[in-house]
Amino acid sequence: MERKPLWRIILDEVRRMEAEVNKMEEEIFKMIKEAEGMRKCITPLYNLYESGDEVILTADLPGANKEEIELVAGEDYFKIEAPCRSPVRKIQEGRYILHVRLPVKIDPETIRARYKEGVLEVVAKKKITGYKIKVE
């Protein structure tokens, strides 16, 4: 039997990995939609990133009301909940629920948040736990 060339083996492996990733992502979509259907909750689109000495979370919460957004934070998590109302149909579509584990510890007393054009932004300073060392 003829052996496959190396490039073919690598390509096949890349395709297999792509298929695996797609399968995992499809599982995540399924879980999100099942949870949304069963609990009438909505998992918002969100981004979490670090910038310098800050941790920044943005979440897309269209149809939320600034006064009704509940934001709870600990040293290593943000929890956001808010009712979501369809601006056109004027009915409650469900409730946004987002619980995010943070990659580093933050100082909750430094948190500031704003809601603009349907997007919530939460910014917190990282907790300083290390020692400053002079480089010689």
Partner 1 sequence: MKKNLREEHGIEIVETKPIEDKELVFLEGFPDVGLVGTIVTSYLIDKLGLEEVGYINAELLPPIIAVREERLKELLRIYRGGKIVAIISDIPLPASLAKPMAYTLMNWAKSKEPELFISLSGLPEPNRLNIDKPGVFVLGCKPELTERLVRVNGVNKFKEGFIAGVKGMLLREGWKLNVNTAIVLAQSHYNYPDPGAAAEIVLYLSKLLKLEVDVAPLLESAEELKLRLRDLMRRTDQMMHGVQKAKELELPPVYL
Residue ranges binding partner 1 (CB under 8 A): 18, 25, 29, 32-33, 42, 44-45, 47, 58, 60, 62-63, 84, 86-88, 93, 116-119, 121
Residue 42 buriedness (CB in 10 A; 0-12 / 13-18 / 19+): buried
Q: Which string of b and e fits 67-99 if b means at least 16 CB within 10 Å?
A: eebebebeeeebebbbbbbeeeeeeeebbbbbe
Question: Closest separation between CB of residue 26 and partner 1, Å?
Answer: 9
In the complex with partner 1, the residue whose CB is nearer, 45 or 104, is 45
Question: Closest separation between CB of residue 105 and partner 1, Å?
Answer: 24
In the complex with partner 1, the residue whose CB is nearer, 85 or 127, is 85
